[in-house]
Amino acid sequence: MMVGAEGRAWANSAHGLGLRAGVGVVGWGMRVTRLIPMVMVLAMAGAGVRAEGEKVAEKPAAETEKSAVAEPGADPTKAIESLGGSRYRMGLIEFDKATRVVSIPAVVNMNKGLVEYLLVHESGKVHESLFSTKVRPMEFNVAVLLLDWKPSATFFDYTEPERGGVPVKGATHRVENSLTIHVRWKDEQGEVQTVRIEEWLHNLDKKAHISEGPFIYTGSRIMPDGSFLAQDTGSIVALMVDPASIVNNPREGNELDDIWVPDPAVPAKGTAVTIELRPVAAGKAEVKEEKGEAKGQKKPSVKPSQGKPAGKRSAK
């Protein structure tokens, strides 16, 4: 069954469409129909609607074209497909309105060296991301808005526009902003395995796995010209804080680009995986920005093979 495109387009901006999605809307079907216009607005923005002379993320023309979303004239009624029960698909992404879990097909993009991102679109910063995907950032953001995820209002400070988004130290994030990340893949014997992402990442400063805990849905930005920043950059989940990314890392040291490395257990480059983003269960306490190691945190049984390179680290 395909979800229809009935319902009126909101008169507000694409930002308003996104952040207000589901507020005061009765029923799942109505939330879907009200978000369909957002798909089209963001599609047009990502397809090249820019201020005259503006550069797009300093990318070559071919790469920029690769990052463009669906054709502006695409039929919005085909954007979301029911898979039965509470499960839906939009493009390559799948999501469940009952569990509010989002599943993204991806591949291992690198299994050694420094990483700054967990997940980017294949046209994004693949030289520094653990995983890459064909899923467009816009599709992911629409899916989580349909599931009533709430972007954090405390992660970044935007009060000084000339500085962009500045990470807020010691910020407290609400449960509805928080999610955990899990990876599913098939091992060499063909058995399905699942792991929390923390088991596949090390913090070189702490000489240990990264602390177990949530990541934060920050939502990226709608720019003055109407473009969706995550769509332009391809950034979906960042380890080093990035206002363009849809999800960010709240852990200590998140302003640094030279402390995050994959665990030796990460499968070979090109291995197909499914990234599951699961909202933190309601009723839990608010999430404080993490400091130090989590209680009971596992120590790596094998030391990371990547050493920290010499030279000055950079921070945002």
What distances in angstroms separate CA 162 from CA 131, 157, 166, 211, one per listed residue?
A: 31, 12, 10, 33
Asked if pLDDT for residue 151 goes beyond 90, the answer is: yes
Top-confidence residue, 279 or 4:
279
Cα 294 from Cα 61, distance rounded (Å): 44
Average pLDDT, the chain: 75
Which residue has tokens 């503006």?
54
pLDDT on residue 76:
38
pLDDT on residue 1:
40
pLDDT on residue 200:
97
Share of the chain above pLDDT 90, in %: 54
Mean pLDDT of 64-81: 48
Residue 29: band (very low, low, confident or very high) from pLDDT cuts 50, 70, 90 = low
pLDDT on residue 52:
34
Mean pLDDT of 79-104: 93
pLDDT digits (tens, 9 = 90+) for 225-259: 888 999 999 999 999 999 999 999 999 999 999 99
Residue 9: band (very low, low, confident or very high) from pLDDT cuts 50, 70, 90 = very low
Top-confidence residue, 297 or 134:
134
Per-domain residue ranges of the chain? 82-288
Share of the chain above pLDDT 70, in %: 64
Mean pLDDT of 93-101: 95
Mean pLDDT of 176-201: 96
Mean pLDDT of 104-119: 97
Sign of CA dihedral 278, 284, 286, 290: negative
Mean pLDDT of 202-213: 95
Nearest to 102 by CA among 137, 150, 140: 140
pLDDT digits (tens, 9 = 90+) for 172-187: 888 999 999 999 999 9
Q: How far apart are the first and last CA of the chain?
A: 46
